Amino acid sequence: MSKMDPTKVKNEEDEFIGFASLPEQVHRKAVRRGFDFSLMVLGDSGLGKSTLINSLFLTDLYKDREIPDTADLVERTLTTVKKQIEIEEKGVKVRLTIVDTPGYNDAVNAEDSWKRVVSYVDQQFQLYYQAESGLNRKNINDTRIHCCLYFISPYGHGLKPLDILVMKKLHHKVNIVPLIAKSDVLTPKEVKRLKTKVLEDIKENDINIYTFPECDSDEDEEFKEQDKALKEAVPFAVIGSNTVVEAGGKKIRGRMYPWGIVEVDNPKHCDFIKLRQMLISTHMQDLKDITSEIHYENYRAESLLSSEVSKSNRERTKLKRDSIANLDKALETEQLLQEKEAEIQRMQEMLAKMQAQLQNNPNSQNGRLGNVR
């Protein structure tokens, strides 16, 4: 067995600069600081939004929720309810913000339901823009909406007109991930048919939903297959349940029916596992990057453009006021000049009359001159 030359080892250590440890430094700093993630859930009441969120993050965010009666639903207006929790897993902290929208499409006239949703998204952009433009930029609280889970009713035949309207109002501001809610009411064939119809409606109406990034060429085959399965699952057919049932001697989360048990964590029954994997394990950072680099930058560019336009309008108004003031001065000067010209003309006329009189009476002029002598 040959021994390694110590001189050679020492030379290799001398050639090592040290910047290869930069990723570790970034990792330590990011873990110490923690991560922010804001998720909006949007859809009709009764589609299991709260249950799904509780299932995704293994928590109970809606302990004090009150179920409104039918009379209240008729006059109910959309509100935004923000819930914040901090989740820690293996030393990594995530400050999670869930924005719920109770009252969405509950009222008899729900045409304006989208306005409050769009207004809320813009407000979060505005808050971040103001914080970014301020003096203290170190500890900015990022409340921008990074993802919107849009719940589609399983009882329809695709997207409703309101779904299309709201998605078109939002798709340039937030990453939309469409979900088919309560998919356990459908057979596998019906789920597949509804998925196809939803994707057709999205394409026909030019709606931009969240698009998965392409895999890098150096990724392993297992990750590529996993990514392909996630792409094919859109829109995700999901089931939520906080109930633990027993099946085959095992305790599982699911729903028990007379004809069998629907397992939330079984990929053969629904896409819940794929949704959680995409949202938390594989694409959370990409959702944040798209929000920051595309949606927020679009808002920032519009804000800068509008401020420039308003500044230009103010300058134009000031110029008009200055022009009016200068015009008044010019008119006053013109009037004085006209008066002076009129006075000079009168004096010239008087002088001409006097000269005419002197020319008409030369004798009287000579007589006066003789008397003087």
pLDDT digits (tens, 9 = 90+) for 30-69: 677 778 899 999 988 888 888 888 888 877 776 665 555 5
Which pLDDT score is estimated for 367? 47
Q: Is the pLDDT assigned to residue 148 strictly greater than 90?
A: yes
| pLDDT grade for 244, boundaries at 50, 70 and 90 | confident
Which pLDDT score is estimated for 291? 94
- Specify whether the CB–CB gap between 81 and 100 falls below 8 A: yes
Q: Which of 242, 220, 293 is nearest to 65 (CA)?
A: 242
Alpha helices in the chain (DSSP H): 6-15, 22-33, 49-57, 70-75, 113-133, 161-170, 188-204, 221-232, 272-276, 284-290, 296-360, 362-372
Token code pair at residue 302: 């519009």
Burial (0-12, 13-18, 19+ Cβ within 10 Å), 190: middle
Higher pLDDT, 370 or 313: 313
Beta-carbon count within 10 A of 165 CB: 15
Residue 266 CA to residue 183 CA, distance in Å, equals 13
pLDDT digits (tens, 9 = 90+) for 265-293: 888 889 999 999 999 888 999 999 999 99
Which pLDDT score is estimated for 314? 60
Residue 242 CA to residue 52 CA, distance in Å, equals 8
Q: Is the pLDDT assigned to residue 85 strictly greater than 90?
A: no
**Across the chain, what does the average pLDDT equal?**
79
Residue 113 CA to residue 105 CA, distance in Å, equals 6
What is the share, in percent, of the chain residues with pLDDT greater than 90?
26
Average pLDDT over residues 229-249: 85
Q: Is the pLDDT assigned to residue 9 strictly greater than 60?
A: no
Q: Is the pLDDT assigned to residue 15 strictly greater than 80?
A: no
pLDDT digits (tens, 9 = 90+) for 96-106: 899 988 877 76
Q: Is the pLDDT assigned to residue 262 strictly greater than 80?
A: yes
Which pLDDT score is estimated for 207? 94
Which pLDDT score is estimated for 50? 86
Highest mean pLDDT among 79-83, 108-112, 114-118, 283-287: 283-287
Which pLDDT score is estimated for 242? 80
Which pLDDT score is estimated for 357? 72
Average pLDDT over residues 12-26: 68
Token code pair at residue 320: 């008009």
Which pLDDT score is estimated for 74? 46
The DSSP H or E segment spanning 178 is strand 176-180
pLDDT digits (tens, 9 = 90+) for 356-366: 776 666 554 44
Find residue 93's DSSP bridge partners.
88
Which pLDDT score is estimated for 290? 94
Beta-carbon count within 10 A of 116 CB: 16
Q: Is the pLDDT assigned to residue 11 strictly greater than 80?
A: no
Find residue 250's DSSP bridge partners.
247
Question: Which is the CATH superfamily of the domain at 30-213+222-238+270-311?
Answer: P-loop containing nucleotide triphosphate hydrolases (3.40.50.300)
Average pLDDT over residues 300-313: 74
Return the domain boundaries, the chain. Answer: 30-213+222-238+270-311
Higher pLDDT, 204 or 326: 204
Residue 152 three-state SS: strand
Q: Is the pLDDT assigned to residue 91 strictly greater than 60?
A: yes
Which pLDDT score is estimated for 175? 96
Find residue 86's DSSP bridge partners.
95
Find residue 207's DSSP bridge partners.
none
What is the share, in percent, of the chain residues with pLDDT greater than 70?
77
Token code pair at residue 108: 């008899």
Q: Is the pLDDT assigned to residue 315 strictly greater than 70?
A: no
Average pLDDT over residues 164-190: 92
Token code pair at residue 206: 């030019």
Average pLDDT over residues 91-115: 78
- Specify whether the CB–CB gap between 156 and 198 falls below 8 A: no
Highest mean pLDDT among 66-80, 251-265, 320-334: 251-265
Q: Is the pLDDT assigned to residue 318 strictly greater than 60?
A: no
